[in-house]
Structure 1
Amino acid sequence: MSGLFPRPQAVVAPGAVHVPEWLSPARRRELVAACREWARGPVPLRHTVLPGGGVMSVRTVCLGWHWQPYHYSRTADDVNGARVAAFPDRLAELGREALVAAYGDKSPARAYAPDAALVNFYDGAARMGMHQDKEERSGAPVVSLSIGATCVFRFGNTDNRGKPYTDVELASGDLFVFGGPSRFAFHGVPRIVPGTADPASGLGHGRLNLTLRETGLDPLAPSG
């Protein structure tokens, strides 16, 4: 347990489910080690530059497909032009396990075929503004895994960046899945909670967030 009392699984909105402490400590360490390798390249961890010139405070590395505002491609044309690392089969299987954990018998897990991952690293000062994940052509759920420091995750509505929204604390090992009516809800991270590092994960400081997505893009296409 991360605290004195266990945190129950919760439906935050229709199709949006929070499963606390889903990743075991061993799985967290395995993912941290893998993320360190992915961050070395072929496309390194980078701060994404937005079209207006702003720079995101989180650092990101992509697998399978490279995301940049606001499309996917096979090569990181905004970084070094290299083709991104392949999407690992073990992450696809982890994603299917996550849907079963979140949705139970109603899970679409057998048909779930994620082919892209965004790995985001937050230091203590990093934030993520309210946004939608809408560059995908598939309406399959997004699977979000948290490792390291706790964040405040703001999960909103599908119409705008404002209220109504719900603030959820995502701690190390937590799973959050959003699909169905909530697939295109606005969401963001307004802050990292100080003093909540998870040294047992091997991360040290900061927070890792892995989001698995099914793009719906042609796997043989050079870009999206």
Structure 2
Amino acid sequence: MTFDLFDAPPRAAREPIGPAAFVLPGFALPRVDALLDAIGDVAARAPFRHLVTPGGFTMSVALTNCGALGWTSDRRGYRYSAVDPDSGAPWPAMPEAFALLARDAAALAGFDGFAPDACLVNRYQPGSRLSLHQDRDERDHGAPIVSVSLGMPATFQFGGLARSDKTVRIPLVHGDVVVWGGVDRLRFHGVLPLKDAPHLLDARWGAQRINLTFRKAG
């Protein structure tokens, strides 16, 4: 699924990784400029932060949110909130560029009419990782998950409905989008520790990976 950056054959419009799960190679590339501007606007109003898990561990991935609801964590548990706990203000509105990308990617994967109300913006730096987990804090498990990779490459782990199920490792590069829903909606997934491999063709991203995860939470 990966190719040399400068000698890459065309990739399929969507590559199945499950019955209702797909990688959309390079789908976000035509929208990168608008996405980068929107990420800056969101972070200016709700800065990235490292949250604490209910077990007392500090997450290696920094995050912020936009949309009507934002995902957050502390010693009391994981949950969605309509306000940023750091400021007490509502999360920034979801940028139009975000909402359009999520809708279009979901439609290509067979999920028409997706209207996310939450976007978790994760910032990975070398060594950051995301342990295997399920996205089950949302009220609506009938809607898909849309995950957008920007910046440094990463290895996505996609497992089964039990944590002990075998996982597959899926290389993701700048502009790739992963969509999963339906029978695959509650599959365990994660990201292996990020290697120090800055984006070679666009210095604006530097030594980081930005991941946008769109959900219907409310």
Give 1:91's aligned amino acid: F
In 2 relative to 1, CA 145–53 (structure 1 residues): closer, same or farther, beyond 3 Å?
same
User: How far apart, in 1, do the equivalents of 2:53 and 2:208 lie?
Assistant: 23
Aligned-pair CA distance for 1:29: 2.5
Is residue 8 of structure 2 the alignment partner of residue 5 of structure 1?
yes
Aligned residue among 78, 99, 107 for 2:106: 99
With normalisation by structure 2, the TM-score equals 0.88
Is residue 22 of structure 2 the alignment partner of residue 17 of structure 1?
yes
Is residue 40 of structure 2 the alignment partner of residue 63 of structure 1?
no
Is residue 42 of structure 2 the alignment partner of residue 38 of structure 1?
yes
SS of match in other structure, 2:115: coil
Q: Which moved more, 1:112-121 or 1:61-70?
A: 61-70
Is residue 72 of structure 2 the alignment partner of residue 72 of structure 1?
no
Which residue matches 1:84? 91
**Quick one: percent identity of the two aligned structures?**
35
What is the Cα-based RMSD across aligned positions, in Å? Answer: 1.8
Unmatched tracts of structure 1, length 5 or more: 218-224
User: How far apart, in 2, do the equivalents of 1:198 and 1:213 lie?
Assistant: 30
Which residue matches 2:179? 177
CA offsets, 1:161-202, max 9 Å, x none? x33111000100001001011111111001223325244272
SS of match in other structure, 1:193: coil
User: How far apart, in 2, do the equivalents of 1:27 and 1:97 lie?
Assistant: 12
In 2 relative to 1, CA 97–198 (structure 1 residues): closer, same or farther, beyond 3 Å?
farther
Give 1:12's aligned amino acid: I
CA offsets, 1:60-81, max 9 Å, x none? 010121211311111122x232
User: How far apart, in 1, do the equivalents of 2:198 and 2:165 lie?
Assistant: 27
Query: 1:1-224 to 2 correspondence within 5 Å?
Result: 2-6=5-9, 7-8=11-12, 9-24=14-29, 26-41=30-45, 43-64=46-67, 65-69=69-73, 70-77=78-85, 79-101=86-108, 103=109, 107-109=110-112, 111-139=113-141, 140-160=143-163, 162-200=164-202, 202-215=204-217, 217=218
C-alpha contact (below 8 Å) 1:32/1:201 kept by paired residues: no
C-alpha contact (below 8 Å) 1:153/1:190 kept by paired residues: yes
Unmatched tracts of structure 2, length 5 or more: none
User: How far apart, in 1, do the equivalents of 2:144 and 2:171 lie?
Assistant: 20
Which residue matches 1:220? none
C-alpha contact (below 8 Å) 1:146/1:170 kept by paired residues: yes
Aligned-pair CA distance for 1:108: 2.9
With normalisation by structure 1, the TM-score equals 0.86
C-alpha contact (below 8 Å) 1:147/1:201 kept by paired residues: no
